[in-house]
Amino acid sequence: MTYSDTVETTAQRGDAGWEIAASLPVKRPQITFADLVECNCIPGISVVHHRDLFAEAGGMDATLEALFDFDLWRRLAVRTEPYHVSYATAEHFLRPSADTAGAGQITNLHRADRRRYVWNVCRIVRKPLPDAVRPEWKRAQDQARRKVQALFLMAQGDHHARLGDHRRAAACHRLAAGMGLNLCRELMRPHGNGEARP
């Protein structure tokens, strides 16, 4: 499994159509599974992996609603040592537009429906690790599971509050608070484009 640096290009709609507003190289660090326990720090468009490793990891999980790449990178990285190529091999285009809020896009689920988004993160971090995994990785995975579970309870509580069910909202928030975690979005770390996502 290898991954590389990328170029992040921002395009804006002008009189003549889409125009390049900025194009910046994005350097990626050398990572291990430990770096992928809580957040996705590998750009999906720059990864190359062996077919046998893909099969051993169980392939793509089509039952997820989002974060397909994050899920797959975790399952690949726990079985091998990802290798970073310090060279830009891919270009990521960002096209902000007032024409659409992106509500129907899977990449926008973290904004459109936070509860569903965090539920997908829960499903990913609950997946069992192979038996021959470093003890510190198992501990980090257990801690991440608790954080994500608490974040889901918070999102569930917010959902009930929006529906006017304040009793259920308070119950969810109490359960999350009772887990004794610092929930100041510590799970959310900057993604490649500056947005906080796991």
**What is the pLDDT at residue 68?**
92
Residue 188: pLDDT over 60: no
Q: What radius of gyration, in Å, describes the C-alpha atoms of the chain?
A: 19
Q: What is the rounded distance in angstroms from the CA atom of residue 50 to the CA atom of residue 54?
A: 6
pLDDT tens track for 120-162: 999 999 999 998 889 999 999 999 999 999 999 999 999 999 9
pLDDT tens track for 55-88: 999 999 999 999 999 999 999 999 999 999 999 9
92 confidence band (pLDDT: 50, 70, 90): confident
pTM of the model: 0.80
Instruction: Fill in the DSSP letter of residue 4.
Output: E
Q: 197, 43, 184: which is closest to 117 by C-alpha?
A: 197
108 confidence band (pLDDT: 50, 70, 90): confident
93 confidence band (pLDDT: 50, 70, 90): confident
**What DSSP line would sit under 31-57, residue for residue?**
--GGGGTTS--S-GGG-B--HHHHHHH
Q: 117, 81, 112: which is closest to 2 by C-alpha?
A: 81
CA angle 33, 37, 39 (to 5 degrees): 110
